[in-house]
Structure 1
Amino acid sequence: MTTSPVNRLILGDNLEILKGMNGETVDLIYLDPPFFSNRNYEVIWGDAGEKRSFEDRWEGGMEHYIGWLKERVEHMHRVLKPTGSIFLHCDWHADAYIRVGILDRIFGINNLVNEISWKRTTNPHNDSRQGAKHFGRITDIIYFYAKDSKVYTFNS
């Protein structure tokens, strides 16, 4: 097992790094996984010369996606200190599956601290097109779980 430097930010697939970390060494985890949107993304960062993309398509469907994410969250739970917390950002594509199938099972229902509704923009737009059969989807969810709801650290 390796010790982790203080204030480390990990970008990318964290599974191998998590497997190599000592247990109960992390204070806070913010997780922004793929959303199971069944889309490909191309994003320009900064200037036209730097282009990054990723694919959010899952062969095997929701079951495969939840299994992939659950394995990572299990390791995150292991590395969190007893006073630690996790914030998991998701949207409507898989939020219920993530909460019930992963977070409630691993952290326990009583360790849900908040379900934060995050409005993506201050512009009151929505993604509902004319003829669409749904209201606009303008919020995401951030689940806030403590490893132990009796002793977690909270700094507003």
Structure 2
Amino acid sequence: MNNNKVYLGDCIEIMKGLPNNSIDLVFADPPFNIGLKYDNYNDKRSYNDYYEWSEQWIKETHRILKNNGSIYIAIGDEFAAEVKIILQKAGFYFRNWIVWYYTFGQNQRKKFNRSHTHILYFTKDKEKFIFNGDEIRIPSARQMLYNDKRAHPKGKIPDDIWEYSRVCGTFKERLGDHPCQMPESLLERIIKTSSNIGDIVLDPFGGTGTTAFVAKKLKRNYITMDISKKYYDVIEKRLKGQTEEIKRNSNHTHREINRNLTLFEFENV
């Protein structure tokens, strides 16, 4: 198995080639099956087809994760409950149902505005898993407001509501026109929490390469992949520090990116 590797192809087939119990952490942000535009993927499968496909790739993540490994899956409202069930059937143990509340949400026409994504956090073993709480502590109200000496001096472990801005088209972090680029700060929290330096972090849906990029920055090894040659190239360039080239080669201006149908502007009427 080659670490620090970007693969081009179907994630299920690629993961089948990885050894059992070889990965420390999986972060997955799969297509949500809500009709977003990808260059070579159908994001509007039938319910049964999408369910069976989710079972297949989640089953592979369970096989390749080490016994003390963890998995985080970002998923939308439409299929979050099903993914939780699939994870449990695959043999994972539930830890948290995290809600990522993002600023710069999107307007809806016939329902309340959407401003969140679900992140399901599971472990392969019920008792033995990596959780580096001290790496992610934040100031607590007990410290900040009340100056309570009983508070932990390093702050508290974050709640299960995480507030991070989405990566808007005008943001410096934005790379090209991928419909669901993840914020680096969110991945940094996950990777610091559930892996150690030198561990292997895998992302089966590489996208713009945020997981691999942050893993590398935090001195972890990475394995990632994407079915799209376009985004495979984006990931490779990003990992080489060629972000300005990615932006120059994009066919979209920031204004056009803002008009694109993305995960965060999608309106399910």
- Give the TM-score category using the shorter length: 0.7 to 0.9
Instruction: Give the match for residue 55 of structure 1.
Output: 42
Give the direction of change, closer, same or farther, for the CA distance of 1:94–1:82 in structure 2 (3 Å limit): same
Q: Which amino acid aligns with 1:29?
A: V
Does 1:117 pair with 2:104? no
Percent identical pairs in the alignment equals: 29
Instruction: Give the match for residue 128 of structure 1.
Output: 108
TM-score by length of 1: 0.76
Give 1:137 shift.
Answer: 1.5
Q: Which amino acid aligns with 1:64?
A: D
Give the direction of change, closer, same or farther, for the CA distance of 1:93–1:19 in structure 2 (3 Å limit): same
Matches within 5 A, 1:73-88: 73-88=58-73
User: Residue by residue, what CA displacement relative to the aligned partner does 1:2-41 show, whole Å, maximum 9, x if unpaired?
Assistant: xx2234455652111111111000000111111010x141
Which of 121, 125, 128 is the matching residue for 1:151?
A: 128
Q: 2:42 & 2:59 partners in 1: Cα distance?
A: 23
Matches within 5 A, 1:80-119: 80-100=65-85, 102-108=86-92, 111-119=93-101
Structure 1 unaligned residues grouped into runs of 5+: 43-51
3-state DSSP class of the match of 2:119? strand
How well do the aligned residues superpose, as a CA RMSD in angstroms?
1.9
3-state DSSP class of the match of 1:115? strand
Does 1:24 pair with 2:5? no
Give 1:73 shift.
Answer: 0.7
Q: 2:78 & 2:94 partners in 1: Cα distance?
A: 20
Q: Which amino acid aligns with 1:117?
A: V
Which structure would you say has the larger Rg?
A: 2
User: Residue by residue, what CA displacement relative to the aligned partner does 1:76-110 show, whole Å, maximum 9, x if unpaired?
Assistant: 1011000101111100111111112x1121134xx
Contact 1:40 1:54 in 2 (8 A): no
More strand by share: 1
Which sits farther off after the overlay, 5-14 or 25-34? 5-14
3-state DSSP class of the match of 2:55? helix
Q: 2:79 & 2:21 partners in 1: Cα distance?
A: 28
Q: Which amino acid aligns with 2:48?
A: E
TM-score by length of 2: 0.46
> Paired residues, what number?
133
Q: 1:10 & 1:113 partners in 2: Cα distance?
A: 30
Give the direction of change, closer, same or farther, for the CA distance of 1:151–1:8 in structure 2 (3 Å limit): farther
Q: 2:8 & 2:112 partners in 1: Cα distance?
A: 33
3-state DSSP class of the match of 1:138? strand
Contact 2:70 2:124 in 1 (8 A): yes
Contact 1:86 1:145 in 2 (8 A): yes
Q: 1:148 & 1:36 partners in 2: Cα distance?
A: 29
Contact 1:40 1:53 in 2 (8 A): no
3-state DSSP class of the match of 2:71? strand
Structure 2 unaligned residues grouped into runs of 5+: 133-192, 194-269
Q: 2:25 & 2:74 partners in 1: Cα distance?
A: 14
Instruction: Give the match for residue 46 of structure 1.
Output: none
Contact 2:103 2:115 in 1 (8 A): no
Which of 115, 130, 134 is the matching residue for 1:138?
A: 115
Q: Which amino acid aligns with 1:116?
A: I
More helix by share: 2
